[in-house]
Amino acid sequence: MSVDMPSPLLGGRLPHLLYGGDYNPEQWPEEVWAEDVVLMREAGVNLVCVGIFSWARLEPTPGTFEFGWLDRVLDLLHGGGMSVALATATASPPPWMAHRHPESLPQLADGTRLWQGGRQQYCPSSPVYREHAVRLVEALARRYGDHPAVVAWHAGNEYGCHVPACWCDVSAAAFRNWLRARYQTLEELNRSWGTDFWSQRYGDWEEVIPPRTAPTYPNPGQQLDFRRFCSDALLECLTAERDVLHRLTPELPVTTNLMGPYEHLDYWRWAEELDFCSHDSYPDPADPGSYVDAAMAQDLIRSLRGGDPWLLMEQTPGRVNWRRRNVAKRPGMMRRWSYQALARGADGTLFFQWRASRAGAEKFHSAMVPHGPLDRSRTWDEVRQLGSELSGLDAVIGTRVEATAAILVDWPSWWALELPSKPSGDVRLLEQIGDWYRALHRCGVTVDFVRAGADLSRYALVVVPNLYMVERETATRLESFVEGGGTLAVGFFSGIVDGFDQIHLGGYPAPLRRLLGVMVEDFRPLAEGEQVGLRFGDGPVAATGSLWSEIVHADGADVLATYAEGELAGLPAITRRGGAYYVSTRLDEGGLLGMVLALCERAGVRGPLPVPPEVEAVVRSGEGRRILFLLNHGGAETPVAVGEGAEVLIGTPADGETITLEPGGVSVIRLT
Amino acid sequence: MSVDMPSPLLGGRLPHLLYGGDYNPEQWPEEVWAEDVVLMREAGVNLVCVGIFSWARLEPTPGTFEFGWLDRVLDLLHGGGMSVALATATASPPPWMAHRHPESLPQLADGTRLWQGGRQQYCPSSPVYREHAVRLVEALARRYGDHPAVVAWHAGNEYGCHVPACWCDVSAAAFRNWLRARYQTLEELNRSWGTDFWSQRYGDWEEVIPPRTAPTYPNPGQQLDFRRFCSDALLECLTAERDVLHRLTPELPVTTNLMGPYEHLDYWRWAEELDFCSHDSYPDPADPGSYVDAAMAQDLIRSLRGGDPWLLMEQTPGRVNWRRRNVAKRPGMMRRWSYQALARGADGTLFFQWRASRAGAEKFHSAMVPHGPLDRSRTWDEVRQLGSELSGLDAVIGTRVEATAAILVDWPSWWALELPSKPSGDVRLLEQIGDWYRALHRCGVTVDFVRAGADLSRYALVVVPNLYMVERETATRLESFVEGGGTLAVGFFSGIVDGFDQIHLGGYPAPLRRLLGVMVEDFRPLAEGEQVGLRFGDGPVAATGSLWSEIVHADGADVLATYAEGELAGLPAITRRGGAYYVSTRLDEGGLLGMVLALCERAGVRGPLPVPPEVEAVVRSGEGRRILFLLNHGGAETPVAVGEGAEVLIGTPADGETITLEPGGVSVIRLT
Amino acid sequence: MSVDMPSPLLGGRLPHLLYGGDYNPEQWPEEVWAEDVVLMREAGVNLVCVGIFSWARLEPTPGTFEFGWLDRVLDLLHGGGMSVALATATASPPPWMAHRHPESLPQLADGTRLWQGGRQQYCPSSPVYREHAVRLVEALARRYGDHPAVVAWHAGNEYGCHVPACWCDVSAAAFRNWLRARYQTLEELNRSWGTDFWSQRYGDWEEVIPPRTAPTYPNPGQQLDFRRFCSDALLECLTAERDVLHRLTPELPVTTNLMGPYEHLDYWRWAEELDFCSHDSYPDPADPGSYVDAAMAQDLIRSLRGGDPWLLMEQTPGRVNWRRRNVAKRPGMMRRWSYQALARGADGTLFFQWRASRAGAEKFHSAMVPHGPLDRSRTWDEVRQLGSELSGLDAVIGTRVEATAAILVDWPSWWALELPSKPSGDVRLLEQIGDWYRALHRCGVTVDFVRAGADLSRYALVVVPNLYMVERETATRLESFVEGGGTLAVGFFSGIVDGFDQIHLGGYPAPLRRLLGVMVEDFRPLAEGEQVGLRFGDGPVAATGSLWSEIVHADGADVLATYAEGELAGLPAITRRGGAYYVSTRLDEGGLLGMVLALCERAGVRGPLPVPPEVEAVVRSGEGRRILFLLNHGGAETPVAVGEGAEVLIGTPADGETITLEPGGVSVIRLT
């Protein structure tokens, strides 16, 4: 790693891309540990995550810590040249916590308690859990903060993956405290939630509860604030640990493994609290389009901290165990998808897990070291090959992905959009974002994600799919962006409510009406299977819309396309006012692709070089070097013109100015 | 309104058809109220329902009433010429009730509690709820009973729409009391429920509980009585309020908004307790046949009080918010469907709601006044147009719908039929009634509904679909009807059990065997997707049956059709003994239409005039005038011959003796 | 019944095949009882089961017994020549138990309590239930043990059919006791469950609970042991009753009605505790293949006690009442299916039930005596005809079914296989067993079932579908079997884990690798709808696999077929090492049939005589006589060559050496 461009990962201590996996030695006899270190060296591993589920071993009874075994593990790893991201071990409390403190168990909206026996059985707001967790973290930090193997902290694990919310009485009290802090007065809460609707007005704070199972829709404001509270409650679990760690081991970075566009946690706020982002990536090999979803998730993770390099903390070498049918990665797929993470900003990749478990719920999750003989394991062969390759890619470390297009995503708007009792319950944000992302990906364009209210001036093109909730600051930023020459595309059902899920009166979408030059008179959701044709100018029907339509009035906007049929025949479907486009329906794939091509053309946005559909091309750059990643997800050998002077780091050497991508193949090229 | 034919609605005080909506001023600042009244006048509104969800505003803490705001609202409305149906405001108790009296919250069969935060979170048997409700109603009656704007009481709201039943301990105790009153002795309960089956015999009243989640089917008698009890428990909530109101304001009529053929409440019993019926109508605009279902629901509502005029209390001007996809009414549809209600006996139509909410779970439910600018709202245009039209239709008030055919429906039989562990779990009463209704509708015949045990002598044709439970009195009435020359059609699986869901022994359908001249040896439910051909006389296969078949022996009946295939080949499928027809399978649409045509022919039943399939023609008459409603649900311009001397009240003026219905158009014609 | 071959049924007291049904006189007035006995004689009944749900009648309040009515019933039956299998009446406790001891009610994993009102509402581990049950059984045994009508005990009824498991606190304590007995130390439990995974290590026995609803997958060892515990807990209910009965009435055999391949109870262990097996058989007449499933269930029941004759305790004469659509048996089907039971080893058949109930949840379940007139009931005709026929088949009694092929089934392996988080969640044991059984049935081969660890030397062919869990003893038995010349076929995903659901390390399937001569490198589950072609030798693609594939290495095995496509192209799909075959995918029907034909050919296994596809031919033999059963499940008249000297007991007399089976017909032939 060059000194002038330190990776935020691991405090800049490591010279190579990170490679390794979760290591759970407590599942194995000590004699296996030594063999593990030998095999890690053989595989090119340089980093392992240790102790993620070790709480019950580290603190077998409350307040009694047993560190001896972990001392030996860390010393052994250090002796073998491994670095360690040490877990805070708080991902799953030992059974004694549930037994001694049953009120620490989470509860669902219908009152169902979630018991010990699996993992993550804690109420995020539980003081019992939090106090015990912090005590353990402090003990770990004091004992291992200066262990030479330890280079980072891995706090918790996949926060909220099973229990993102809890409706118990402990949570209810915490929710009320959170609401007091937000609203100060009960009158303000009543106003913000609109409790005059349906006789919901509160007269006493104690009457307020989480949105438990109710006769019908609970108050939307209550539901929305509960989503906010749940994200915050888990985040407090993280920051409580992080604060201890920063205090006791200020030089060690703290991360946790995020899960891409995870609905329940506002990762924009979470990322602020991390020293670097980590990510777990599990696209389904049975789905031929899943690699594009994976790219999108990785672009999001990178964007969460402004483009900083991040770490692929978990992927599987082969299969997972939690789908109905766990199809395995085909040969070369694990390698290609690993390079995809690097291409999109990762400075390393780890696997879940190092050695496949003999027992427990994940024993059929593939691992770097399989159950059977290594000498006849293609998984092991692939793991070693990748480890070997990555050791030669130091040049990648710390470079940053180039992107001039962005998609705006906002968690509270997402939550509000998908609350029930909408014009259409089938408007799902990830589907809408996915539509736009796939079209941009198909155009070869690398995309950042941006948050609501962010400065957009570094982008030429910004897409805003279904931003149902728009606060003043966001509208202003969008206006400034367009005024500054930016090209903006806004999807339907945007700008409808304020931060309390209350309608912006004055004609939809009130805060964006001036910017977009339209007024939406009313919504016309389409029935299941219903489609409506669209016509550009006087042309024939050239695209179709589904899911949604609207009665749009052009108030200053140009009408680019009109509805061709039905009640809306002749009315505007797609409009443009200066650089601000509005799309009032869900376009079919071809229609959206045409739209995106036009947007890119106007904005001057394009990919690093022309590539066929199933090839990804992404450039990372920095400090005078540009590194091109080419990934061939298709089954055909594909030539790609990469220009003069390219240095092939990975892949078939260039024939003059052209490189040949094998079917499923990868190339990494230093352009300058 | 003519003096000689007072509408039961509103005590005959209003001279015009009623027009307006639910008005929830507490959701808006007072400055909006004045604007509301101006707009109401512009829209032709003459009646609004106020206070339906105002409990939390009226009684912010238990026992403390705040009426000032409502005083101002009512005075303002009165000043603007509006009349008010004042709600009893008990539809949803304030959060303080749940908090202070958690035992007032309802519980599902599996023990799940339903919490505050939505609406209607009360156990129907809760003494706490009932006492608080009555106290509030008494306070309202004393304060507003003689307010000049108030012309009626709107008790509760859509009783039981979310919580038609409760399985909590409070309900259990109330259920036992109800059972004691019904059976006097435990021995009688044991006999009636047949508790010698499966060792269910009770030795103590306290052992009896609602049919909570059990290892398998609870006792059918227990389930059936629980359905009866649940309907009665909610009805007691209504009558407790009604009694207060009748005592304190004897001149003001009391109504509540019913919901068509609502499964959970025995509306025959409910309607007896009301001064007039109201109805909420929400057919799905995405379903091209939903207007026929709406017609059926309205015919039922009208029939509940023997044909008295009723009030369409709620419909939407555009969209609802509670379907998965809420397709909007197309242009003209709201108007046409409003006239459909008038055609079928309504003396007015109101909307939910006057002004679209900014907040809460129904903010995307369309309203008369939308969120956006009125000057570009087709909803507002349609609302004003309809209001204007209705003001010219005073002649309609108080007339009654002409019908000579009827369908029998009985709630306890419905409940018993759809309890589990039947020969086929797919025999659903509404589907069977719907089959017959649609065929009659297709023939242009207007239909009344009648209850079991009713005198049928005013009808020429009566249809009895799936009257699984038949008590002696009903059988006698049906016999008298046929003896009196009536034409009767009985659907399969009728007459099987008595009022305790115990088999009538002696050969199915024992109480109807003599009347129908058949004995059903056994049932032969058909498999999913299975069909069986039917042959009339020696003809070819001319119809098909699905869902059900039976081994029928003709004991005096003529065999009109036989099964053409399989085990039942050659055995009777449709029989007739005198005027009594029996149909032992579910006929396909064409087959049933042919059957109904024959029945109508025999009974001399026909519609007011010949119309094409998608046109409805209904006549209301009384005191020397007959008013014809013509509704064109189709997309084609349609001429209709209406005869001489017709006065067109609404619609394109008649060309000689023929009127032209526009696509989707409406005509109202005074025939005499 | 011949003295030299006593049937285990009823202690050898009865001279004829058993015929009758469940008799529930408490549901009827006493005057009906006398008529019942007359009708029983008319129907040829010789055995009825009395009192199955009589607990509430026998013990109306705790500790007070009322036997008078039962005295009269038994005397009446005895007077009429009927024998009685007297129920222990413990299948469903009276409501007073739930009311007085709510802790005796079962609870689901999510905490839902199952209440009284249906049946079987007891926690299997409840001391309250068990003590009351044993007290009742003792009272019954003392009173009726020497009643001349009583020939056997019918303990409980369909144990566990609704409540096979309970998660309540009482069950939790019992589960812990069961675990203590199994593991002695908590350390051993931790080791066996692999609790170092996910921080699940227990520090105190009290922390251990049943696998209640948890945030995600509970520990597999915990789940597997809970399945074992649940089967044992119910079995203890049975053996507690059995012990009382054996002590007080040692001469009366004890049985209970099993339910074929019932997932929740390890019937191998259950059958050990019975004096003879009984079986309830309810194939769906709407499913044309259900008779093969019924045959399989009956072969299993017979095998549970090593081929001893058994009793068909329940079937329906016509319809059941618990399917969504309860299609009735077509004419002749009840007779044919009754003979199927005899063919597969039953020494009699009973029905549920004698007389159709008027009330209760099963009133629409057909019975021997229907609701309607007997003189026009084809059910009653069929019942009488069968009774008459069976009285002439004494020669069948006590003979045993001939079978040289067997399928291995093991309940704990079944449970472990279907726990979640597997490579594919769609590998279901019954489907895999069904595939093999149907192919063998199609070849006319009669099959026994064998348990894991059993001596297999009496068979020529053994099939082992998906024996996921293999313990050492089982592997040894399989090796001995093949070494002894047996032909063995092992299905994919076998031999993966030990008895604690922990992976056998050393290459899958470690305990079978030597036997099969293969090593499975990794699993390749196929996606929904995905298929892969198979090629035998160099031939064309001749079969397809679905659901599953594997990377198989042949380590000494011959490769019989290879995968033809995709990642596995050219790799082994089906192998053979000596007599041991391995099939690594789910073969399509034709492919598996070819496989089974080859296996039978090698093993010298064949049916008693060649028959077309829809004809079953099974031979029972013993003490010098061989009896051939021929069942024509098809719709065509079918000639079958049966050889010389055959004596036709049932069916159209033989024409020379050939018999003609009518469509749907049956023949029973004494061959020697």
pLDDT at B172 over 50: yes
To probe the interface with A, which of B70, B159, B324, B365 has the most A CB atoms within 10 Å? B324
Q: Which of A314, A382, A389, A616 is catalytic?
A: A314
| Cβ proximity of B295 and B616 under 8 Å | yes
Does the pLDDT at position A13 exceed 80? no
Selection from C316, C321, C311 nearest residue C333 by Cα:
C316
Within 13 Å of residue C327, how many CA atoms lie on the same side as its CB? 20
pLDDT tier at C13, thresholds 50, 70, 90: low
pLDDT tens, residue by residue, A166-206:
999 999 999 999 999 999 999 999 999 999 999 999 999 99
Q: Whole-angstrom Cα distance, residue B369 to residue B51? A: 18
Nearest CA in chain A to C555: A376
Rounded to the nearest angstrom, the minimum Cα separation between A110 and chain C is 10
Gap between the Cα atoms of C477 and A216, Å rounded: 60
Say if residues B607 and B446 touch (Cβ distance below 8 Å): yes
Residue B646 above 90 pLDDT?
Answer: no
* CB-based burial, B134-151: b 16+ in 10 Å, e otherwise: bebbbbbbebbbebebbb
pLDDT band at B452 (very low <50, low <70, confident <90, very high): very high
B133-170 tens-digit pLDDT: 999 999 999 999 999 999 999 999 999 999 999 999 99
Q: Which of C93, C115, C371 sits opposite B212 (nearest CB)?
A: C115
- pLDDT tens for each residue of C460-493: 999 999 999 999 999 999 999 999 999 999 999 9
C10 — pLDDT class (breaks 50, 70, 90): low
B377 and A522 within 8 Å at the Cβ level: the answer is yes
All residues of chain C having their beta carbon less than 8 Å from the beta carbon of residue A26 are 196
Q: Is A502 within 8 Å of B359 when comparing Cβ atoms?
A: yes
User: B418: nearest CA in chain C?
Assistant: C324
As a whole number of angstroms, the distance between CA A208 and CA A159 comes to: 26
Write out chain B residues lying below 8 Å of A422, CB-based.
Answer: 321, 326, 364
Closest Cα to residue A226, out of A150, A167, A287, A161?
A167
3-state helix, strand, coil in chain C (%, to 5): 35, 20, 45
Question: CA C408, CA A234: separation in Å to the nearest integer?
Answer: 50
Measured in degrees and rounded to the nearest 5, phi and psi for residue C193 equal: -85, -10
> pLDDT of C560-603, one tens digit each?
999 999 999 999 999 999 999 999 999 999 999 999 999 999 99
Q: Which residues pair with B580 in a beta bridge?
A: B488, B577
Interface test with C, best of A363, A378, A382 (most C CBs within 10 A): A363
Task: Say if residue C14's pLDDT is above 90.
Answer: no
pTM (2 d.p.) = 0.97
Instruction: Taking residues A640-658, report their average pLDDT.
Output: 84
Give residue C623's pLDDT: 80
The yes-or-no verdict on residue A11 having pLDDT over 90 is no
Smallest CA–CA distance from B546 into chain C, residue: C325
Is residue C311 pLDDT above 50, yes or no?
Answer: yes
Identify how many contiguous H helices and E strands chain C contains and give both numbers.
Answer: 17, 28
Condensed to tens digits (0 to 9), the pLDDT of residues C403-445 reads: 999 999 999 999 999 999 999 999 999 999 999 999 999 999 9
The alpha carbon of B267 is separated from its chain's Cα centroid by a whole number of angstroms, namely 7
From chain A, pick out residues whose CB is under 8 angstroms from the CB of B327: 524-527
Tokens encoding B380 = 């507002």
Cross-chain residue pair C94–B203, CB shorter than 8 Å: yes
Q: Is the peptide bond before A93 cis (omega within 30 degrees of 0)?
A: no
What does the pLDDT read at residue C657? 84
Closest-CA distance of chain A to residue B627, Å: 32
Q: Which of A158, A382, A614, A616 is catalytic?
A: A158
Best of C22, C322, C326, C374 to mutate (most B CBs within 10 Å, chain B)? C326
Out of B111, B508, B530, the one facing C372 most closely (by C-beta) is B508
Task: Give residue-wise pLDDT tens across range B560-614.
Answer: 999 999 999 999 999 999 999 999 999 999 999 999 999 999 999 999 999 999 9
Distance, in Å, from the CA atom of A415 to the CA atom of A164, rounded to the nearest integer, reads 13
Q: Return the pLDDT at B4.
A: 37
Token pair for residue C198? 């996910």
- Rounded Cα distance between A641 and B440, Å, is 73
Q: Would you place residue A4 in the very low, low, confident or very high pLDDT band (cuts 50, 70, 90)?
A: very low
pLDDT at A236 over 60: yes
Percent of chain B topping pLDDT 90? 95
What is the average pLDDT value for chain B, to the nearest integer? 96
Contact list, B364 vs chain A (CB under 8 Å): 421-423, 523
Nearest to A546 by CA among A566, A563, A536, A532: A532
Min Cα separation A511/chain B (Å): 13
Cβ(C44)–Cβ(C19) under 8 Å? yes
Q: Is B423–C56 a contact, with Cβ atoms under 8 angstroms apart? A: no
What is the C-alpha separation between C4 and B655, in angstroms, rounded?
102
Q: Which helix (H) or strand (E) holds A603?
A: helix A589-603
Q: Can you give the pLDDT at residue C672?
A: 76
Answer whether residue C20 shows pLDDT above 60: yes
**A473 given a catalytic annotation:** no
- One DSSP character per residue, C617-651 reads EEEEEETTEEEEEEEE-SSS-EEEE--TT-EEEES
pLDDT, tens only, B309-322: 999 999 999 999 99
Residues 6+ apart with CB under 8 A from A46: A14, A16, A18, A19, A20, A81, A82, A83
Q: Mean pLDDT lowest for which of A538-547, A639-648, C393-402, C540-549?
A: A639-648
Instruction: Give the catalytic positions of B in this structure.
Output: 158, 314
Query: What value does the mean pLDDT take over residues C42-65?
Result: 98
What b/e string do you get for C350-364 counting C-beta neighbours within 10 Å, with b at 16 or more? bbbbbbbbbbbbbbb
What's the pLDDT band for A14 if we cut at 50, 70, 90? low
- Percent of chain A clearing pLDDT 90 (strictly above): 95
pLDDT tens-digit map of B96-106: 999 999 999 99
From C59, C241, C314, C382, active-site residue? C314
Q: Do the chains contact at A551 and B26, CB–CB below 8 Å?
A: no
SS3 sequence, A543-564? Answer: EEEECCCEEEEECCCEEEEEEC
Mean pLDDT, rounded, for A638-662: 86
Higher pLDDT, A623 or A636: A636
Residue B576: how many other CB atoms lie within 10 Å: 23
Phi, psi of C570 (to 5 degrees): 90, -10
Instruction: Test B95 with A212 for CB contact under 8 angstroms.
Output: no
CA-CA distances (angstroms) from residue C96 to A515, B186, B281, B464, C56? 72, 14, 47, 42, 9
Q: Return mean pLDDT, chain C.
A: 96
Q: Does residue A305 register a pLDDT over 90?
A: yes
Average pLDDT on A606-615 reads 94
Q: What is the mean pLDDT of residues B407-422?
A: 98
- DSSP code of residue A328: P
* pLDDT exceeds cutoff 60 at C2: no
Of all residues in chain A, the one with the smallest CA distance to C503 is A358
Residue with tokens 């940053």: A400
* DSSP 8-state secondary structure symbol assigned to residue B507: S
User: Which residues in B337-493 belong to E strands, given as ranges?
Assistant: 346-351, 400-401, 405-408, 447-450, 461-464, 487-491
Contact (CB<8Å) A200/B325: no
Q: Residue B214 is nearest to which of C54, C93, C118, comparing CB atoms?
A: C118
Contact between chains at A425 and B324 (C-beta distance less than 8 A) = yes
* Residues found in chain C: 672
A657 — pLDDT class (breaks 50, 70, 90): confident
Tokens standing for B513? 């065997």
A256-287 pLDDT, tens per residue?
999 999 999 999 999 999 999 999 999 999 99
If you count them, how many residues does chain A have? 672
Q: Coil, helix or strand for A82? A: coil
Report the C-alpha gap between A510 and A470 in whole angstroms: 9
- Looking at residue A10, its pLDDT comes to 65
The tally of CA atoms less than 13 A away on the side-chain side of residue C606 is 7
pLDDT(C213) > 60: yes
DSSP 8-state class, residue B318 = S
pLDDT of residue A7: 55
Q: Give the confidence band of B643 by pLDDT, cuts at 50, 70, 90.
A: confident
Q: Residue C1: its pLDDT value, please?
A: 29
Alpha-carbon distance of A245 to A231, in angstroms, equals 21
